[in-house]
Amino acid sequence: MSKPARNYQFQTAGRIIAGPHSLQNLGDALSGAGQVSRVLIVASDTIRKHGITDEIAAQLAQRGIASEVIGGVMREPTEDHIEDLANQIGEEHFDVYIGIGGGSVLDATKLLSVLRTNRLRVREMIGTELIPSEGIPTVLIPTTSGTGSEVTPNAIVTLAKEELKIGIISRHLLPKLVVLDPVLTLGLPKHLTAATGMDAITHALESYISVKANPISDMMALESIRLISGSIVPSFHNGSSIEERSAMLLGSMFGGMALAGSGTAAVHAMAYPLGGRFNIPHGVANAMLLPHVMAFNMDRIWDKLEIVAGAMGIARESGSSVAAAELVISRIEEWTKELEIPQDLMAYGVQSTDIPSLSSAAFNVRRLMDNNPKPMSTEQIEAVYRELLPQRETAYNKDEVSL
């Protein structure tokens, strides 16, 4: 367990309802929460097409609660997109915002709630605790098992001009209610199961080795790792298993709680410019980078990775502490292969000539880089990126820098 930081704290959602078909409890939860007569449901077009928003609206109507739906939330939304959605809502009054979907929808719902009550632009919120007032109360309902956004004070937004994803962190982004219904994840396609699942394990692992790790975040991170390690591959191959989907959804939530308590590090810092510039899905970028960054950090974290190996259920396969730590990295590499996650940045248009600017952008994400257990120079960041280029690209660069 981590040596306790001098001071640490933990915040999460106000209330969590979980279990198969727990969405059916939403109407009762809202009708018992006081003066709730009109709600806004925020969703992606995919969620709307599957009729889930209609089911929620019907359930609320039975309890005398009116609702409207705003769809069209884009994947990994930009600041302009969020503000366009806010303009669509305008000055209309809603007692509660319900966000249902993947991490992008949940993040958008959080931001829309505080944009309604604070006279700020999205860009002015970027950073930590820069939102003065509470937003419209939110209910968050994840339909993927990845971001853990439903239990964090974080929201990620893409800055199109800078070609970068960046975080907004505020206690005012925490929801009043979370509904974790694994039934909603049963239809998740294999590629989304893989990407979101690897995103969740990255949250847990980076939170555990973070310089801000503490006893509370450690507990959440290890439970997340235990749950996801046993269910990510089975849920990929058998997406209809409610048991595996339940474990993934809980694992994702615990990973979100862990990152809320201690934060992520270099993997996320390096993933952000890949998403902002080349539109690489966040979970995919994390999965590609994770084993390489962990290998870079190895001399500072091998003792913690030995504990991670225990949580993964693979410690007995090793003969020493360092061997156990190395097994963790090997297991992650095995997962990415079995989950069919690409290991080639060129598949997304990245060229060798792009690496210096990507490295500079990642280096400047200080909120996350400073959380890494081992400092990284721009040259060392470049070396990690180049590990993900084909040999024909790296042949002339492999000796330029040393990890």
Q: What is the pLDDT of residue 162?
A: 87
Can you read off the two tokens belonging to residue 138?
């939110």
**Portion of the chain with pLDDT greater than 70, in percent:** 95
Can you read off the two tokens belonging to residue 264?
């992520």
CA 183 to CA 206: how far, in whole Å? 28
The pTM assigned to this predicted structure is 0.93
Give the pLDDT confidence of 135-153 residue by residue, as tens digits: 999 999 999 998 999 999 9
Cβ neighbours of 55 (radius 10 Å): 13
Using the 8-state DSSP alphabet, how is residue 154 labeled?
E
Angle between helices 266-278 and 378-386 (to 10 degrees): 70
Can you read off the two tokens belonging to residue 142?
């994840």
Q: What is the pLDDT of the chain when averaged over all its residues?
A: 92
Give the pLDDT confidence of 210-258 residue by residue, as tens digits: 999 999 999 999 999 999 999 999 999 999 999 999 999 999 999 999 9
Calculate the CA dihedral of residues 254, 10, 112, 79 and round it to 10 degrees. Answer: -80
Give the pLDDT confidence of 123-135 residue by residue, as tens digits: 999 999 999 999 9
CA 237 to CA 222: how far, in whole Å? 24
Q: Could you tell me the end-to-end alpha-carbon distance of the chain, in angstroms, rounded to an integer?
A: 27
190-394 sits in which CATH class? mainly alpha
Is 16-185 assigned to CATH 3.40.50.1970? yes
Rg of the chain in Å (alpha carbons): 21
* Contact between 175 and 138 (Cβ < 8 Å): yes
Give the pLDDT confidence of 351-384 residue by residue, as tens digits: 999 999 999 999 999 999 999 999 999 999 999 9
Give the pLDDT confidence of 146-199 residue by residue, as tens digits: 899 999 999 999 998 888 889 999 999 999 999 999 999 998 999 999 999 999
Q: What is the pLDDT of residue 403?
A: 29
Domain ranges within the chain, ordered by starting residue: 16-185, 190-394
